[in-house]
């Protein structure tokens, strides 16, 4: 009779989990396979978690970094997709890209986040995304220029860390 009570209790718990799943259309604490994400999404996730990834080139390296930092829940994946839909900030890929976008559009106001060599981006990705989204509402374009990728050009521009 005692084991029957335990059985009923477990059955009730499973029934409640099933109801939760029906309401939310997914199992609670369901994990997402990071391999299903694109490289850009993996990079965005690592940035949101504050994990440096500039030296990670291959998708397998990015996936391993995500797995080492903890599982990817369905909820976190959904938040990642929602913030991606608001992303309006550019990541400048070269000096030429920067000059084409910023210098050649003199009529546009820009806020550019310059990431110096040997430093993490400040503000971090989630905060920068909020700033970029708010600035875009008033017509200000945003972008990020990573000096570790273009160190000599950053030095010519005078973008360096002053101790």
**Beta-bridge mates of residue 11:** none
Is 70 exceeded by the pLDDT of residue 82? no
Per-residue confidence (pLDDT) for residue 17, from 0 to 100: 67
H helix or E strand, kind and range, residue 31: strand 31-32
Question: What are residue 115's DSSP bridge partners?
Answer: 146
Which pTM was predicted? 0.44
Q: What is the pLDDT of residues 144-158, one digit of tens each?
A: 888 888 888 888 888
Residue 162 banded pLDDT, cuts 50, 70, 90: low
Which of these ranges, 6-10, 36-40, 90-94, 139-143, has the smallest mean pLDDT? 6-10
Please say whether the beta carbons of 53 and 60 come within 8 A.
no
Measured CA to CA in angstroms, residue 85 lies from 38, 41, 79, 108, 132 at distances of 14, 11, 10, 22, 12
Pairing of β 31-32 and β 72-73: antiparallel
Question: How sure is the predictor about 102, in pLDDT bands with cuts at 50, 70 and 90?
Answer: confident
Q: What pLDDT score was predicted for residue 48?
A: 79
Which pLDDT score, from 0 to 100, does residue 12 have? Answer: 67
**What are the tens digits of pLDDT across the range 43-81?**
888 887 778 888 888 888 988 988 888 877 777 777 666
Contact between 132 and 113 (Cβ < 8 Å): no
Listed in order, strand segments (DSSP E) in 43-122 are 72-73, 90-92, 109-115
């Amino acid at each position: 009779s005692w084991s029957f009570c335990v059985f009923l209790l477990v059955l009730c718990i499973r029934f409640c989990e099933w109801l939760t799943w029906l309401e939310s259309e997914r199992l609670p604490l369901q994990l997402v396979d990071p391999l299903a994400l694109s490289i850009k999404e993996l990079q965005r996730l690592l940035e949101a978690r504050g994990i440096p990834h500039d030296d990670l080139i291959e998708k397998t390296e990015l996936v391993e970094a995500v797995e080492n930092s903890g599982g990817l829940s369905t909820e976190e994946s959904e938040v990642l997709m929602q913030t991606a839909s608001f992303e309006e900030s550019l990541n400048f890929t070269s000096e030429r890209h920067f000059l084409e976008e910023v210098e050649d559009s003199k009529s546009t106001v820009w806020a550019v986040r310059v990431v110096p060599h040997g430093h993490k981006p400040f503000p971090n990705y989630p905060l920068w995304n909020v700033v970029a989204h708010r600035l875009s509402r008033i017509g200000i374009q945003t972008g990020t220029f990573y000096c570790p990728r273009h160190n000599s050009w950053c030095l010519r521009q005078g973008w360096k860390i002053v101790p």
